[in-house]
Structure formats: C-alpha cells, structure tokens
Chains A and B, each alone.
Chain A
C-alpha cells in the first residue's frame, strides 16, 4: 500500500524514466538539427520554468522579473566564459551564483509587498535591468549586444565540437545532450526540494502565512530562499541560452520573456515540476509549430499582402492560451494529462486490450 511507503516518490514511474532516458539518448540521432535546436531552447526554458514554478507555484510569490535574472546569467557567463575564457563549469557556476545573489537582493521585497504590488515591483525590475544591460557597454556591448561564444568544454569534452569514438556530432546534437542533462538535474533538484522539509515550508507560506509562522516556519527564510533558487536557475538558463546562441542583446531580456515564463508554468500547471517542463516545451515549440502550420496557409505566409504576420499570430495565440488556460483549465497540461490517462484507463476497450496483452 502507498500509505505504508516510508519515502516520498517522484511522480514518475520507472517506465516513464526508462522512456525518457531512451528518448534522451536517441533523439539526437532521429531528429533534424532544426528540431533539436527547438528542443534545446525548450530544455533551457524548462530550467528557468521549474525555478519560477518553485517561486510562484509553490511559494506563491508573483514575479514578473524572471527575464532580468536570465539576462544577468547570460552576461555573467559572457564575462566569465569569453572575457576570462574559463570553461563550462566555471561560467555555469558563476551564473548561478550571480543569479542567486541578485535573487537574495530582490527577495526581501517579497517580505513587505504582496500580490499585485510585488508584481509591479518585479515588472520594474525587468525594465531597470534592461536599461542597465543597454548602458553597461563594457559588459554587455550596449544595445547591439555582445558575442557569447562560450567555451563549452567540461573535463576535456567539448560540446561545441563533440567527438565520441571518432564519430563527430553536430553542435545541436551535443548541446541537446548537455542541456537536457542539466534540465534533468534542475528538475530533480526542485522536485527534491518540494517533497522535503523546505518545500513543505514554502507551500505552507503560500497557503497560510500566519499559520506557517505558528509552526516555526520562517517566512523570511523561505520567501528569500525561493527567490534565490528561482533566480539562480533563471541565471543558469540565461547562461545556457547565451552559450547556445553565441550572441546576446539586451532586447531579449524583456517583459515579454518574463510573461512567457509565467505562461509556461500556467500552461503546464502551477505547482507541478513535470508541468513546468511540459509547459516550457509547449511554449518554446509553439512559434515553430505555428510557423510549420502556417506555411501552407496563403494569407499567413508572411508576405506583404498577408492578413496577419506570423509574429503577431504567435503573440495572439500565446496570449489567448494564457487567458484560456487560466479561465478554463487552471491546473494546466499536467491536469489535462492526468484526466486523459484516467479516461483511457476507464475506457473498457483499452482495459480489455491491456488485459489481453498481459494475460
């Protein structure tokens, strides 16, 4: 019985883990470089999304400032990886530390301000950060941006030119392995926090702050802690994005990016780490899906006489998704998935099918 199980399990069955592992290993052989890069961006976004989900979904703190931390991570990585020329572990860790430190600086705002107020303050953070990114020429290259051709080698393995047993891999193939390994680690770390003492404390703060304090939960520690973890992960995501793109400019770290991250955790389902990953993939892949689908539609093709630009269509679909998910399916893809699964399990035909197979 589950009630007897002494330890909390991750919400993934062994079968799922095996399938994921197989997908991880095999995908680079089966997919084109284009779709691999879509997945790489999805994986990078997922790292930021699981962090934001810890802050917003589990600790209940609104943040429109996520983009600022991504940017901070990207420029830290640029400085450490290009200007100093240090290898991958160094710029990743430096980005995480810088992001965490900034989070610790901003986090205390959450102690004094709630809900809408915190939302607007963090909105201000994005605008302030973007201004700094534009003006700090020495670090960021100003408004036009800077190259971030980071050294992507760790222990002698270079992910920019990966060669295993004499076989060379494309940059997309190698980065897929690199990014998704890190995504897996990030998701696992957050899932671990959530199922142990600190995660429970964060959820207690989210649900009832006073009651949490009465149990000895330090609201200060967990609110700021959640900010630190979330911004450290955002900075790692920013660093990876910089590394993969090899060039970053300030306009990337915009309010829209923050909103996209919030959309990921909403679409995925607030307070679900799996959901955050799914949401990141979905939101990341959406523009490309729209691109593919709209290629066949004449008035969408992006030509002069088209009714609507692909970019505008993207944004509108994206905005509608946020609105529709929130008003119609607040628990997101994660809930849809669970419902689909129970529905399938209850369908007699499927039942019979599985029984025949096992029997």
Chain B
C-alpha cells in the first residue's frame, strides 16, 4: 500500500505547518461540477490520468437507508484539495447523515467515500487517521474536561505517549506533554480562548463552546475539515467572528473544508462551490451564484418557509 505510506508521510510533514504541496492546486477552481441529477458521474480530467489524487475528497453514489427511510440517495460530489465546499439544504435534507457517512459513523448501504486513496465509508477510526477533522451540530466537546484538555485531545493523533510511559511520567511523556501544552496554548490564543483555557467546557457559553470545538478540529492539523452548522444559534457578531476564523484557518493551513449549513447567507460568501441537498438527493451543485438562482433550490427553500 504505497498510497497509505504517502498519506502518513504527508501527515508527518504537516505537523510542522509547512504548506502541503496540495496548496498549489487550490487556485484551480475551474473543475467541473458534477451534475448530480445525472447518475453517471462526470469524471474530471485529473482523475483519469492520476487515479486517486492525494487530498481530494471523492464521494460517489452514496446511499443510506434507515429501515424504510432513505436518508441519502446516490449522493456524489468531489472536493478538490484546499477547496471550500458548502452543503446546504432544508431541515431533514440529510446533511448530518452525510457527515456521518463521510466519517464512518454511519455505514452507507452503497457508494464510497475516498480521501485520496483511502476509503472512509463504514470505517470509524479511519477518518481521523486519514486527516479528517469534524465538528458536531450541538458541539462534540467532552463535558467533563477543561478547554485545555479538549484541545489536547485534538492533538491525540499527532502524539504518542502511551499508557505505560504516561504512568511512569518518563521519557517521551514529559517532553511531549510540555510541547503540546505550549502548542495548544498558541491555538487557544488564535481563537481567543486563552482566558478560558482552564475552564470546564460545561461552564462555557454556547458560542464559545462552538469555538473551542473548531479550535480542537484545527489542532488536529486536518487535511479535510468537516463543519456541521458551525454558526447555528449564534448572533450576528459571533457569526462574523467565526467566519473570520474560518478564513484565517484556510489561509494558514490550506485544508479543504466541507461546510454544512442550514442557512445560505454565510455559505454564499465563503464557499467556492455549493451542493444543495433536499430529501437526501442532490438537487443542485455549482458556484454560489449558480446555485442561488437555481429554481429547484429556491423551491426547496420556499417550501420550507411555509
């Protein structure tokens, strides 16, 4: 598995925050958007030549059923390295189910999710190892722990101390702990969390908790960041601040982002491309401008207003 090795060396390289080679590709935003209505997926030029492109998320023909309910139906899209893809749709469109499929929490009946050469569908621990970080709708923080501990858990995959060396507080454990604490303090600084570093997360206001979770995802140094409604329930100012953080992160870490949101406003300003889901089906895909004027999208959202 040479590709697996490539992925792991890539991870090692990204630890010291050098820009990954993927960065160069981000300027290439002319990639054709898949017409999701047609089931035979248009294959982009790249793919035929190089097979699995490192860092590209390739979701194809994903179908997820719960009993008789089809939550996702033949959903396909790709996210190029460094790209920000927004997935929007009315409530119950299947957005969170999609994230759960991308991270192996749900096992789809058919279809595949590939990040580079790694298959993510149906394999729980694999997403993190492949360099995927995600946030949850009602935040997935560990409530019994402090902000600092939550951020340090973001570093879990990038650190090594095991049970024995931890217990002995010997060798690697001590040095790693010190280095990671400093590193994480820097991240906290970046997200304006330095003041609450030693607070239990249960004590935090909702907006701050969302920010902690975002910071924790960034601490993972992901290649692909999956955000589930990062500004849901936030006021205007907090939303703007969060958008600022997101822009900042993209600039610094050059990761690809899949941003799920119910609300179109934030998405239209930030996204390179948008995929619209309704009742588990992709009803539109394209640039924000294209999607905004798509009659099907308007209809789906209008239907919801009533």
* Pair A211/B125 contact, Cβ less than 8 Å: no
Given contacts A206-B144, A214-B133, A215-B153, contact A192 B159 (CB under 8 A): no
B65 on the interface (CB 8 Å rule)? no
Tell me whether B303 is interfacial, beta carbon within 8 Å.
no
Q: Are A7 and B181 in contact (CB under 8 A)?
A: yes
The answer to the question of A123 belonging to the interface, with a C-beta cut-off of 8 Å to chain B, is: no
Q: Report Cα–Cα, A190/B167, bound state, in Å.
A: 6
Q: Helix, strand, loop or mixed for chain A's interface?
A: helix
* Chain A residues whose C-beta falls within 8 Å of the C-beta of B128 in the assembled complex: 213-217
Q: Within the complex, which residue of A189, A201, A211, A271 is in contact with B136, where a contact is CB–CB below 8 Å?
A: A211
Do residues B140 and A211 form an inter-chain contact, with CB atoms below 8 A? yes
Q: Write the nearest CB–CB distance from B188 to chain A, whole angstroms.
A: 9
Q: How many chain-B residues does the 8 Å CB contact rule pick out?
A: 43
Choose one: B105, B143, B166, B181; the contact of A193 (CB below 8 Å): B166
Contacts of A302 in B (CB 8 A): none
* Chain A residues, Cβ within 8 Å of B176: 197
Choose from B103, B144, B162, B163 the contact partner of A214 (Cβ within 8 Å).
Answer: B103
B140 and A203 contact, CB distance less than 8 A:
no
Q: Which of A189, A204, A210, A225 contacts B168 (CB 8 A)?
A: A189
| Contact between chains at A192 and B167 (CB < 8 Å) | yes
> Contacts A213-B125, A214-B140 given: A196-B177 contact, CB under 8 Å?
yes
Is A208 among interface residues, defined by CB-CB distance under 8 A? yes
Known: A6-B178, A7-B181, A204-B153. A197 touches B105 (CB 8 A): no
Cβ of B149 under 8 Å from chain A: yes
Residues of B within 8 Å of A199, CB to CB, are 166
Chain A residues with CB under 8 Å of B182's CB are: 6
The answer to whether A207 and B142 touch across the interface, beta carbons within 8 angstroms, is yes
Residue B212 interfacial (CB < 8 Å) = no
Residue of A nearest to B167 (CB): A189
Contact with A along B193-231 (1 / 0, CB 8 A): 010011000000000000000001000100000000000
Contacts of A197 in B (CB 8 A): 152, 156, 159-162, 166, 173, 176-177
* Pair A6/B181 contact, Cβ less than 8 Å: yes
Q: Which residues of A approach B to under 8 Å, CB–CB?
A: 2-3, 6-8, 189-190, 192-193, 196-201, 203-204, 206-208, 210-219, 225, 229, 271
> CB within 8 Å of A: which residues of B?
103, 105, 124-125, 127-129, 133-134, 136, 140-145, 149, 152-154, 156-157, 159-163, 166-169, 173-174, 176-178, 181-182, 194, 197-198, 216, 220
What are 19 residue pairs bridging A and B, where the CB atoms are less than 8 Å apart in the complex? A3-B194, A6-B181, A7-B177, A8-B181, A189-B168, A192-B169, A196-B177, A197-B176, A203-B149, A204-B145, A208-B143, A210-B140, A213-B128, A214-B133, A214-B140, A215-B156, A215-B220, A229-B163, A229-B167
